[in-house]
Amino acid sequence: MDKNKKILVIDNLSAKVENKEVLKGFSLDLHAGEKLALMGPNGSGKSSLANILAGHPSYKITGGSIYFNEKDITTETPDIRAKIGLFLAMQYPVAIPGVNVANFLRSALKAQKGKDVPIREFRHELKRNMELLEIKTSFANRYINDGFSGGEKKKMELLQMLMLNPKVAIIDEIDSGLDVDALKIVSNGLNKINEQNNAMLIITHYKRILDYIPPDRVCIMLNGSIVNMGGAELIDKIENSGYEWLEKVA
């Protein structure tokens, strides 16, 4: 895939949730194979953006457009967005009692591809990815996130992502609550996704995950829009000075 190609284009997007404006003329593009870090203080709209890109029905788009591979997906449903290659790794993964991990993942692959994946091929890929993320094989028969620790839930998000191999992965603060060992494992999984020339939008507050996944660009969000864009120097400035300086220049 051409790394100069814009795979995701967000054009002048405005949106509300419960009559509160969360995006205000937000514009951003993401290239094939790019790792883009999106940072900003609490309440700046980062997680709202992630939910809007995934098609969350509680959010109402009031202006602008979203394009995926040059196709307008502004009004598409979450399942259509997932089928074409958009994936959201959630900050707070939910438990689904009664649905085991292996059956869920095989059903998700069938929905994405429009046909069943041969069982031997599926099992081989599942085992390989579980080993990469250091997930015990017994978890394949457990109910999704039911009784899982915070770190196990984050690994399960990554397992779904590795199995589905999305063209664009939106990573919403997946590093929150992870210890150092879990962070290294999760970061290794994310880098494996990027090796396939897939793009990543990494939403985070902290520098530590970006030490393991160095971004190509860093964008800073404030009050529902991008206020600064640059390289690793922005990460260091936030680490050293927080976000107060942004309000002076925004």
DSSP H stretches of helix in the chain: 46-54, 78-84, 101-113, 119-132, 150-164, 180-195, 208-212, 232-241, 244-249
Q: What's 213's domain CATH number?
A: 3.40.50.300
Structural domain for 146, as ranges: 6-249
CA-atom Rg of the chain in angstroms: 18
- Give 109-126 pLDDT, tens digit per residue: 999 888 888 999 999 999
Any domain includes 126: yes
Task: Please indicate, yes or no, if residue 244 is contained in any of the structural domains.
Answer: yes
Give this prediction's pTM: 0.90
Given a cut of 60, whether residue 250 has pLDDT beyond it is: no
Please give the tally of structural domains in the chain.
Answer: 1
The verdict on residue 1 lying in a domain is no
Output the pLDDT for position 83. 92
